[in-house]
Structure 1
Amino acid sequence: MAATGSFRTERFSIRAEHQWLHGTIRVPLRPGRHPAMVFVSGSGNGSREEFTPQAEFLARAGVVTLAYDKREIGYDFRSRDFGLLADDVLRMVGHLRARPDVDPARTGVWGSARAAGWCRSPRPRARPSASSCWSPPRTSRRCARSRGR
């Protein structure tokens, strides 16, 4: 995949249950509808900045990318509501699919580590058309099981 194109950056905020979620969208400058990718953090505080190199590479290659800061309400080291996190992923996928510069049939999710478990939706209409799992070696077996392998 050649990553030589230019892109613009947009900041956004979306109302989610009990708080606002903030993120960055990178849009290729080429006209037309593009495939799109949502980046989802695994365990930890989950800053959108952790995906900057990947998001910029894909945007240069013609993919609209969205990375967001993980919620602060409903996620901490003692209490993790994975259903709430999954709803946030679906909210981001829906946000991208609603854009006129995104091809909704080619919208995917890139989940790192623990995010692989909540990136998949049990609701078929809400599922992204593709998903990718990145995981450090210690959790890769669990990640593969969550993907049905």
Structure 2
Amino acid sequence: MDDCVFCAIATGAVAADLVLETDDVVAFLDRRPLFKGHTLLVPRRHVVTLPDLPAELRDPFLAAGQRLAAAMVEGLGAEGSFVAMNNTVSQSVPHLHLHVVPRTKGDGLRGFFWPRHKYADDAERAEYAARVRAVLPNLPD
């Protein structure tokens, strides 16, 4: 879609801090992270909601989500992760996206009160992307 920012990121027309690219999906750091390392996973094909996801993309999408959840622990030293998606309601960009957020006990995330933690600058954001990206080849598919 011409006006979809996630489609533009998937094609490279809009710059993003990419952490994972396959033929089917792209993952990149969220510009307004809950915690540093917060990653968004999107199908390259424009799909609005999970019910719209074609059957042939379900496994590649979920497999990439699993790998990213593991990368939060391996690459960022998180204790675990928060994985979620919205369908239409609260979906700020109408393109299916899975949030994969690094978590640690006592990090302050409670219920749906979500504080945002900004990167100090572009270099810090790029460093977090590199840390997640670096461990992905070592994780099972």
Q: TM range, normalised to the smaller chain?
A: 0.3 to 0.5
TM-score norm. by structure 1 comes to 0.34
Higher relative contact order (CA 8 A, sep 6+): 2
Identify, as 1 or 2, the structure richer in strand.
1
